Structure 1
Amino acid sequence: MLPGTWRLVGILLATLAAIIASQALITGSYTLVDEAIGLKFLPRMVIRHPSNIKNQIYIATVNWMLCIITISVVWFFGSSQKMEAAYGLAITITMLMTTVLLHEFLKKHLAKGTALIIALFFGFIELIFLISSLVKFIHGGYVTLTIMLGILYIMWLWYFGNKRREHYEKESEYVSLLDYRDQLSKLSADNTVPLFTTNLVYMTKIKGDYQIKRSTMYSILDRQPKRAKVYWFVTVNETNAPYESNYTVDLLETHNVVNVQFYLGFRKSQSVSVYLHQVVNHLVEQGILEPQIPTYSTERQRKVGDFKFVIIKEQPADLIANDKLSSLDRRLIGGRIYLQKITASPISWYGLEFSNVIEESSPLFITQDQDQYLIQKKIYHRGRLSKTEK
């Protein structure tokens, strides 16, 4: 106990230490989550950059989760004395993880034997602390373990859900956009099909060899064909420059199938609708696209028509029908889809809150294998058997 004359000083020092420690915890959590998203251990979240330094970030979801967990833990324990067991176990586990990371770092810069000796030295000391902390497990240490297992479960579900989905995903789930440009051009000029919209936009990632998910083409062609004057396939790429803002356009040797690649800095808002209107205006002014003068408009001399944005969401309904999937794989892939639903929405991510957006559900696997056990038994013609069956 501090003497009464030093109590105020002790309170000030403890408060200052708590502020510094909490700030380190918060900023460290942001960094770890950002790295985990990049490594595909966690689903995508909305990340804000308060400064021009890319590593200075703010993640509202993480901030609120820390707030809720902190308040819940304080309410659950009720006093700092009861929190000692949980706190001690958390610190010890953090120390052990730091030693593991240190060992991985030293292996790349020192001899493996030297790195192992250093890791064993610190690990032995920390193991003693861990054993002593386990004695208090039933007094509150289980709270730390519960939180840790919850986070690990989410990471495991997302990472291995992606891996198992990629394992079952056939090469035919990706198609070349070049193979469909003739069909798209023909559909655009087919007056027998009602006009769906002037500009039909798909937010999708197109690889360097024009590979695109089959579900995108399935949405345009196989479902009720969507006729548009121009088909836009838009990819947003984040760059390291804070305010970079440029784009490339590839018309694929057509006049109505356009691949747009946006390159936006990490501090630049991803207002795709606003940017795309500018792109169309530029292309019309350059004579690359025909003017899209609407019949009715509040703007005079408007040259850009209407837009419809299509967001494709995968549904786990066909997981049950796929016999090749094991029970564990169904849970992993289904859990991964559920996590994607409750995290950042593509509509808010791309700034489409006030745009005409259509959300479509798509099966995970467009191409289905035939059931080899399904056989034709009889064919009836107006209630009678065919001649071959009499």
Structure 2
Amino acid sequence: MEHKSMDKATAAGLLVAMGIIYGDIGTSPLYVMQSIIGTVPIDERTVLGGLSCIFWTLTLQTTFKYVILILRADNRGEGGILALFALVRRHAKWLTFPAVIGASTLLADGVITPPISVASAIEGLLKIYPDLQTVPIVLAIITGLFMFQIFGTKVVGRAFGPIMLIWFSMLAFFGIIWIAQDWTVLKALSPYYAYDLLTNSHGGESGFWLLGAVFLCTTGAEALYSDLGHCGRGNIRISWIFVKIALLLQYFGQGAWLISQNGQLLNGRKPIFELMPEWFLIWGIAIATAAAVIASQALISGSFTLVSEAIRLNFWPKVRLHYPSDQKGQLYVPSMNIFLWLGCVGVVLWFKESANMEAAYGLAITMTMLMTTALMAYYLHTRKVDMWWVVGFIILYVSIEGAFLVANLRKFVHGGYVSLFIAAAIIALMVIWFRANIIKMRLTEYVKLADYIEPLKELSRDMSIPKYATHLVFMSNAARTSEIESKIIYSIFQKRPKRADIYWFVHVDTMDDPYTMEYKVSVIEPDDVIKVNFRLGFRVEQRINLYFRKVVEDMVKKGEVDITSRYESLNKQNVIGDFRFVVLEKFLSFDNKLSLIEGLIMKAYFFIKDFTPSEDKWFGLDTSAVKVEKVPLIIRPVENVVLKRVD
């Protein structure tokens, strides 16, 4: 039933899809043809070859790979590279590498998209005001956009669809007007012109290198998949028909204008604005700017979602997440917002013009697409698709995306190093966090809970020890009901004996399904020891305080637990007993003998951890009833300590 509803298309759904997912790919006509022509005289063969490359890239890459094939790989209705990874990760450990690289390069791309989209739109004003300083305007718009994130995008989101509908209609309208002046431009639909361009010279060098510029027309394809959960497969597929037609009409309209300028230099002119009459230009720039802001907003929201998924999958530090509204998918990540804003401001100040930003754009997202291809191929394999089809898929898309990657590598020295440097920093962060969690889990010591039931009951009855709490709740990493960390036992019995009437042990499992919300209660010893296991999807907010309260309420209704206070005076009045949470926060002990690599990973891990919120805030616990205890993480104790006693 879920899959059938995903395949349905509605008028409202189509409008939402138009506003949410086509911002990046929809604003590409602002700069793609300008990038293909470059600084050499306009040549008809280059124009026709560029148009042919654009048509076949949008057909093979965007339509066939993403809209037809990859949208099938939904994880309970959710899409995106980490949702795809969650589907296949249990089958092979090596799949972690493409997931980390793909997610990191996608986040790095988020630093380039807002500046290039907004700058390309604002630079249209130079046709009216040649001496205008565009950088301050671009910075003001981008800063305003990031400041707005704290309020959420629910209200503005309603306007996105109609604005993008106007944008695509405008692209199609002016495209048709110019195509009608030179119908011969449609011969570029033939793949011959793409082949001719790529195998011959352009401006004194191989036309193959133009693939780096051509690739800019499909950079937003990954967003189609990432926003699957917001829009549904049916809405994306139907709306893409209109969007693709509008984009192609605009590109071919620009081609017709460029052919009319054969032999001339562009000199900073943007073909998209040359198609518009003078009286409409200011309106066209305003609509283009609105579309660029929407493109940026979609990418920022996508980055927030990606980070929240990465946190649940242990790829990212547990940074603070905010949910500005109850609407599904509404999320605000303050630390990521600051990071993206600083990155965007840096890109604008460094490159200044959109033409310079094109050199940095595209290289990172090519890596994302290659990694998605690797994960998708393995997904097809797990779904028992015929091996020859899987091999064919790999050969076709590794060839296409490999060619784009090689062509884009040429951008490295011209600015591509910026996006790759950002991606490398994010990859390093993800690898450190992921590896550190594996080291911690591998070397955390667990003990049998059954061995401590009687001691816990005795401690609970020992009146010589002051009562710590009526209900003492420990957050635990032990997934098995029969086990508990030795550190928790140490905290209860040795660090400071903690007498309580009921001991609760709470564990949170992150599931591969995005929106799972389940729990299991194991009453190990009635009214003494209870273990609660939450199973939460990788897109579910960690509000353990709220969820735990719901569990207790359900248990009280079923008569499984008595939560009234055990103090005689309060018990007579049926006062509910106090609940106190204990969270163990580990620090790296000096008593460790680590390998060089593990030592560096753990030091980096704890250094980063100092800048993130504490565990109690991450779990959404009420800080007034939480005790955070620091415990040493002894990964490998130093052995054979030789000490000599002297008298």
- Separation in structure 2 between the aligned mates of residue 214 and residue 115 of structure 1, nearest angstrom: 49
Shift of 1:242: 6.9
Q: Which residue pairs with 1:130 in the alignment?
A: 408
Q: Which residue pairs with 2:458 in the alignment?
A: 186
Q: Which residue pairs with 2:619 in the alignment?
A: 350
**Cα deviations across residues 130-177 of structure 1 (Å, max 9, x unaligned)?**
2431341xxx4332232112111111211222233445x16xx11121
Shift of 1:18: 1.0
Q: Which residue pairs with 1:142 in the alignment?
A: 417
Relative distance call for 1:288 and 1:334 in structure 2 (3 A) is: same
1:199 maps to 2:471: yes
Q: Contact 1:103 / 1:115 at 8 angstroms: preserved in 2?
A: no
Pairwise mapping of residues 213-362 of structure 1 onto structure 2 (< 5 A)?
213-236=485-508, 248-262=520-534, 270=543, 272=545, 275-276=548-549, 279=552, 283=556, 286=559, 288-289=561-562, 291-292=564-565, 294=567, 301-318=573-590, 321-323=591-593, 325-362=594-631
Shift of 1:315: 0.5
**Cα deviations across residues 231-281 of structure 1 (Å, max 9, x unaligned)?**
22123467879796x755433134322223456787777252784498279
Relative distance call for 1:204 and 1:86 in structure 2 (3 A) is: same
Match among 83, 93, 99 for residue 370 of structure 2: 99
Q: Contact 2:363 / 2:416 at 8 angstroms: preserved in 1?
A: no
Q: Contact 2:592 / 2:635 at 8 angstroms: preserved in 1?
A: no
- Separation in structure 2 between the aligned mates of residue 96 and residue 243 of structure 1, nearest angstrom: 31
Q: Which residue pairs with 2:46 in the alignment?
A: none
- Separation in structure 1 between the aligned mates of residue 304 and residue 618 of structure 2, nearest angstrom: 18
> Which range is displaced more, 213-222 or 2-11?
2-11
- Separation in structure 1 between the aligned mates of residue 519 and residue 487 of structure 2, nearest angstrom: 25
Match among 633, 637, 640 for residue 372 of structure 1: 640
Question: Which amino acid letter does the alignment assign opposite residue 148 of structure 1?
Answer: A
Specify which structure has the bigger relative contact order, considering alpha-carbon pairs within 8 angstroms and separated by 6 or more residues.
Answer: 2
**Cα deviations across residues 199-242 of structure 1 (Å, max 9, x unaligned)?**
22212244234222111111111212112222221234678797
Shift of 1:326: 1.5
**Cα deviations across residues 100-154 of structure 1 (Å, max 9, x unaligned)?**
4225424635525423431343135314532431341xxx433223211211111
Question: Which amino acid letter does the alignment assign opposite residue 434 of structure 2?
Answer: Y
- Separation in structure 1 between the aligned mates of residue 541 and residue 436 of structure 2, nearest angstrom: 31
Question: Which amino acid letter does the alignment assign opposite residue 418 of structure 2?
Answer: V
**Cα deviations across residues 309-333 of structure 1 (Å, max 9, x unaligned)?**
2111000133xx322x122211201
Match among 327, 333, 341 for residue 67 of structure 1: 341
Which structure features the higher share of strand residues?
A: 1
Identity of aligned residues (%): 29
Which structure features the higher share of helix residues?
A: 2
Question: Which amino acid letter does the alignment assign opposite residue 332 of structure 1?
Answer: I
Question: Which amino acid letter does the alignment assign opposite residue 362 of structure 1?
Answer: V
Shift of 1:42: 1.7
> Which range is displaced more, 339-348 or 285-294?
285-294
Relative distance call for 1:81 and 1:187 in structure 2 (3 A) is: same
Relative distance call for 1:84 and 1:248 in structure 2 (3 A) is: closer
Q: Which residue pairs with 1:23 in the alignment?
A: 297
Q: Which residue pairs with 2:125 in the alignment?
A: none
Q: Which residue pairs with 2:211 in the alignment?
A: none
Relative distance call for 1:185 and 1:57 in structure 2 (3 A) is: same
Relative distance call for 1:58 and 1:367 in structure 2 (3 A) is: same
Q: Contact 2:363 / 2:419 at 8 angstroms: preserved in 1?
A: no
**Cα deviations across residues 270-321 of structure 1 (Å, max 9, x unaligned)?**
2527844982796499384374154777x99343223322111000133xx3
> Which range is displaced more, 155-164 or 106-115?
106-115
- Separation in structure 1 between the aligned mates of residue 309 and residue 515 of structure 2, nearest angstrom: 18
State the secondary structure of the residue aligned to 1:343. coil
- Separation in structure 2 between the aligned mates of residue 351 and residue 189 of structure 1, nearest angstrom: 31
Q: Where do 5+ consecutive residues of structure 1 fail to align?
A: 381-390
Relative distance call for 1:51 and 1:263 in structure 2 (3 A) is: same
- Separation in structure 2 between the aligned mates of residue 164 and residue 262 of structure 1, nearest angstrom: 23
- Taking structure 2 as the reference length, what is the TM-score of the superposition? 0.49
Q: How many residues align?
A: 362
Question: Which amino acid letter does the alignment assign opposite residue 162 of structure 1?
Answer: N
Question: Which amino acid letter does the alignment assign opposite residue 130 of structure 1?
Answer: N
- Separation in structure 2 between the aligned mates of residue 100 and residue 286 of structure 1, nearest angstrom: 52
Relative distance call for 1:331 and 1:105 in structure 2 (3 A) is: same
- Separation in structure 1 between the aligned mates of residue 426 and residue 436 of structure 2, nearest angstrom: 15
- Separation in structure 2 between the aligned mates of residue 236 and residue 104 of structure 1, nearest angstrom: 27
> Which range is displaced more, 8-17 or 274-283?
274-283
State the secondary structure of the residue aligned to 1:251. strand
- Separation in structure 2 between the aligned mates of residue 317 and residue 161 of structure 1, nearest angstrom: 15
State the secondary structure of the residue aligned to 1:178. helix
Q: Contact 1:202 / 1:232 at 8 angstroms: preserved in 2?
A: yes
Q: Which residue pairs with 1:117 in the alignment?
A: 395
- Separation in structure 1 between the aligned mates of residue 575 and residue 456 of structure 2, nearest angstrom: 23
- Separation in structure 2 between the aligned mates of residue 290 and residue 33 of structure 1, nearest angstrom: 38
Question: Which amino acid letter does the alignment assign opposite residue 396 of structure 2?
Answer: I
Relative distance call for 1:106 and 1:343 in structure 2 (3 A) is: same
Q: Contact 2:589 / 2:634 at 8 angstroms: preserved in 1?
A: no
Q: Contact 2:409 / 2:416 at 8 angstroms: preserved in 1?
A: no
Q: Which residue pairs with 2:230 in the alignment?
A: none
- Separation in structure 1 between the aligned mates of residue 613 and residue 372 of structure 2, nearest angstrom: 30
State the secondary structure of the residue aligned to 2:458. helix
1:8 maps to 2:278: no
- Separation in structure 2 between the aligned mates of residue 25 and residue 272 of structure 1, nearest angstrom: 32
Relative distance call for 1:11 and 1:95 in structure 2 (3 A) is: same
Q: Contact 1:99 / 1:122 at 8 angstroms: preserved in 2?
A: no
Pairwise mapping of residues 48-87 of structure 1 onto structure 2 (< 5 A)?
48=323, 50=325, 53=328, 56-61=329-334, 62-87=336-361
Shift of 1:181: 1.1
Q: Contact 1:96 / 1:126 at 8 angstroms: preserved in 2?
A: no
Relative distance call for 1:293 and 1:222 in structure 2 (3 A) is: closer
Q: Contact 2:545 / 2:621 at 8 angstroms: preserved in 1?
A: yes
Shift of 1:4: 3.2
> Which range is displaced more, 115-124 or 357-366?
115-124
Question: Which amino acid letter does the alignment assign opposite residue 366 of structure 2?
Answer: M
State the secondary structure of the residue aligned to 1:203. strand
Q: Where do 5+ consecutive residues of structure 2 fail to align?
A: 1-268
